[in-house]
C-alpha cells in the first residue's frame, strides 16, 4: 500500500496547475524512449536533485518556421589568430598566408633524404644544386646539440608528420564552433537569410528551462544576432492546430506530453506574431478552395441569422421593459391624485 501511494504522489510540476506522479512519468518516459530505441541520443532522462525536484533533460527536435530574416554574428566569440600559432619550419616547403604548404619539385617527400645522400657521394657537375644547403637539408654540423633548430636534423618524413600533427596544445576550449543551418555557415554575403520552412535542428534542454530560455539556447547554438523576443515556440499538430507556448511553459514537458512522433506534433521556432489556429478552425484547413468558400458562405448565413435572432430578442425584451415602466408610471400618478 505504501509503495502504491508513493507512486501516485505528485512529484513534478508540468504547467499551470498540472502535476505528474511517479507512475505517470515512468510510463511517459518508457513510451517516449521506446520510440527512439535506435537513437539513444534522443532519449529523455531525469534525475532527482537534493531538494527533491525532478529534472528532465534531453535532446529535442525543433523546426524552423520563421518568416523574417535572421542575422548571423559576424564571427565566433573567440577566434584564434593565425599569427599566434607557430608552425614548425618544414624543409623544402613554403607556408602561404592561408597556412597551406606549397612544396617544390618533389612529389615524394621521402625521396628528399635519398637525393641528399646521392649528392654527397656523387656530385652532379651538370647541376649546380647543393643538397646540403638550407634549401633542402642543412649541414648537421652547423648547429650545436642545444640549438633551437635541432629539429631540422630530423628526417624529412618525420618533419612532414610533425607538420601535419604538430605538438601544439589543445585549443578547443578557446573557440566555440558555429553550427550550420542545413549547411548554411556564416558568409558575409549571405549572413542575413531566412531558413527554409521545416528545416530541422536539435537542441539539448532541461525541464527547468522556460520557453524564452530554450529560444536563447537555440539562437546561441547558431550564433544568431536577433533578439529572442522576436520569436516564439509553437506546437503544430498534424490536424493543422497551431498552439503558441506561453512564457511560463516548459518546452521539454510539452514535448513529452505530446509524444515522440513528429508526424503527430512538431515544435517550431516561429515569429512572435504568428497567428494561432484553434482545433475548431484546423479541421477546415485541408479542404479545397471551392469547399472552403461554400463553408464560409454557410457560416456567413448562419451568422446573419444569429444576428437577426439577437436583434429580435433585444426588441422583444425592450418592449417588455417599456411596458413594465409604463405600468409603474400610471399607478404612481393615480396615487398622487
- DSSP secondary structure string, 103-150? E-S-SSTTHHHHHHHHHHHS--SS----TTSTTT---GGGS-TT-TTG
Distance from C-alpha of 24 to C-alpha of 15, rounded to nearest angstrom = 15
Query: Does residue 35 have a pLDDT over 60?
Result: yes
CA-nearest of 20, 21, 46, 23 to 33 is 46
Pick 83 or 275 by higher pLDDT.
Answer: 275
| Residue 184: how many other CB atoms lie within 10 Å | 15
pLDDT of residue 43: 94
Lowest average pLDDT, out of 142-146, 148-152, 306-310, 327-331, goes to 148-152
CA distance 166 to 203: 34
Does residue 139 have a pLDDT over 60? no
How far apart are the C-alpha atoms of 157 and 8, rounded to whole Å? 69
Q: Is residue 149 located within the same domain as residue 200? A: no
What are 323's three cell numbers? 411596458
* Nearest-angstrom CA–CA distance, 214 and 35: 23
76 within some domain? no
Q: Which pLDDT score, from 0 to 100, does residue 336 have?
A: 53
CATH number of residue 237's parent domain: 3.10.20.90
Checking if the pLDDT of 311 tops 90, the result is: yes
- Report the range of poorest mean pLDDT among 6-10, 35-39, 88-92: 88-92
Residue where a domain stops, chosen among 172, 197, 216: 172
**Which residue, of 149, 172, 195, is where some domain finishes?**
172
Helix, coil or strand: residue 143: coil
Mean predicted confidence (pLDDT) in 56-62: 94
Return the top range by mean pLDDT from 12-26, 75-89, 112-126, 306-320. Answer: 306-320
Q: Are residues 275 and 184 in the same domain?
A: yes
Give the pLDDT score at 111.
45
Chain centre to alpha carbon of residue 45: 20
* Closest-CA residue to 235 (of 268, 213, 260): 268
Question: Global pTM?
Answer: 0.60
Kindly tell me if the per-residue pLDDT of 151 is higher than 50: no
Whole-angstrom Cα distance, residue 15 to residue 248?
Answer: 8
Enclosing domain of residue 315: 290-336
Give 3-state DSSP helix, strand, coil % of the chain, rounded to 5: 40, 20, 40
* 163 and 223 co-located in one domain: no
Q: How many other β-carbons are positioned within 10 Å of the β-carbon of residue 167?
A: 6
C-alpha cell read off for 71: 542575422
* Chain mean pLDDT for the chain: 74
Q: Are 201 and 328 contained in the same domain?
A: no
Same domain, 186 and 272: yes
112 domain-assigned: yes
In a domain, 318, yes or no: yes
| HSE of 253, CA atoms in CB hemisphere, 13 A | 22
Domains in the chain, number: 3
Residue 77 falls inside a structural domain: no
Q: Are residues 185 and 265 in the same domain?
A: yes
The answer to whether residues 90 and 29 belong to one domain is no
Residue 258 lies in a domain: yes
103 in the same domain as 18 = no
Beta bridge partners of 200: 63
Which residue's C-alpha cell is 418592449? 319
In the structure, what pLDDT confidence band is assigned to residue 230 with cuts at 50, 70 and 90? very high
**Long-range contacts, 130-137 (Cβ 8 Å, 24+):** 135/92, 136/91, 136/92, 136/112, 137/91, 137/112, 137/113
**Highest averaged pLDDT of the listed ranges 4-18, 143-157, 293-307:** 293-307
* SS3 of residue 47 by DSSP: strand
Residues 274 and 184 in one domain: yes
Q: Which residue has the higher pLDDT, 129 or 319?
A: 319
Indicate if the pLDDT at residue 262 is higher than 50. yes
**Same domain, yes or no, for 7 and 126?**
no
| Mean pLDDT (whole number) for 311-332 | 85
Strand partners, 62: 201
The Cα 28–Cα 259 span in angstroms is: 8
For residue 31, being part of any structural domain is answered with: yes
Report yes or no on 147 lying in a domain: yes
Q: Which three cell numbers stand for residue 106?
A: 618533389
Q: Specify the pLDDT at position 242.
A: 94
Q: pLDDT tens across 173-189, in order?
A: 434 567 888 778 887 88
Same structural domain, 255 and 322: no
Does the structure show a pLDDT above 50 at 133? no
Do 50 and 137 belong to one domain?
no
pLDDT at 105: 40
Amino acid at each position: 500500500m505504501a509503495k502504491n501511494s508513493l507512486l501516485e504522489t505528485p512529484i513534478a510540476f508540468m504547467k499551470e496547475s498540472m502535476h505528474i506522479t511517479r507512475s505517470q512519468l515512468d510510463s511517459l518516459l518508457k513510451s517516449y524512449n521506446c520510440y527512439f530505441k535506435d537513437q539513444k541520443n534522443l532519449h529523455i532522462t531525469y534525475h532527482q536533485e537534493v531538494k527533491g525536484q525532478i529534472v528532465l533533460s534531453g535532446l529535442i527536435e525543433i523546426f524552423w518556421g520563421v518568416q523574417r530574416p535572421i542575422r548571423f554574428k559576424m564571427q565566433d566569440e573567440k577566434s584564434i589568430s593565425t599569427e599566434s600559432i607557430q608552425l614548425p619550419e618544414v624543409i623544402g616547403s613554403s607556408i602561404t598566408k592561408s597556412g597551406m604548404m606549397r612544396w617544390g619539385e618533389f612529389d615524394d617527400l621521402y625521396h628528399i633524404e635519398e637525393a641528399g645522400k646521392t649528392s654527397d657521394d656523387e656530385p652532379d657537375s651538370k647541376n649546380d644544386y647543393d643538397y646540403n644547403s638550407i634549401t633542402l637539408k642543412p649541414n648537421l654540423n652547423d648547429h650545436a646539440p642545444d640549438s633551437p633548430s635541432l629539429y631540422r636534423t630530423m628526417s624529412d618524413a618525420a618533419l612532414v608528420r610533425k607538420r601535419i600533427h604538430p605538438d601544439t596544445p589543445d585549443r578547443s576550449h578557446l573557440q566555440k564552433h558555429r553550427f550550420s543551418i542545413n549547411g548554411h555557415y556564416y558568409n558575409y554575403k549571405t549572413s542575413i537569410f531566412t531558413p527554409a520552412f521545416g528545416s530541422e535542428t536539435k537542441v539539448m534542454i532541461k525541464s527547468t528551462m522556460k520557453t524564452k530560455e530554450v529560444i536563447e539556447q537555440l539562437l546561441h547554438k547558431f550564433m544568431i544576432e536577433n533578439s529572442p523576443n522576436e520569436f516564439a515556440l509553437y506546437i503544430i499538430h498534424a490536424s493543422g492546430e497551431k498552439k503558441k507556448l506561453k512564457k511560463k511553459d516548459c518546452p521539454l514537458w510539452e514535448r513529452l506530453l505530446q509524444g515522440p512522433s513528429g508526424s503527430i506534433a512538431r515544435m517550431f521556432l516561429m515569429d512572435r506574431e504568428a497567428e494561432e489556429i484553434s482545433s475548431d478552425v484546423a479541421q477546415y484547413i485541408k479542404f479545397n478552395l471551392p469547399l472552403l468558400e461554400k463553408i464560409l458562405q454557410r457560416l456567413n448565413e448562419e451568422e446573419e441569422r444569429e444576428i437577426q435572432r439577437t436583434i429580435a430578442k433585444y426588441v422583444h425584451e425592450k418592449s417588455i421593459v417599456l411596458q413594465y415602466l409604463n405600468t409603474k408610471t400610471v399607478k404612481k400618478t393615480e396615487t398622487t391624485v
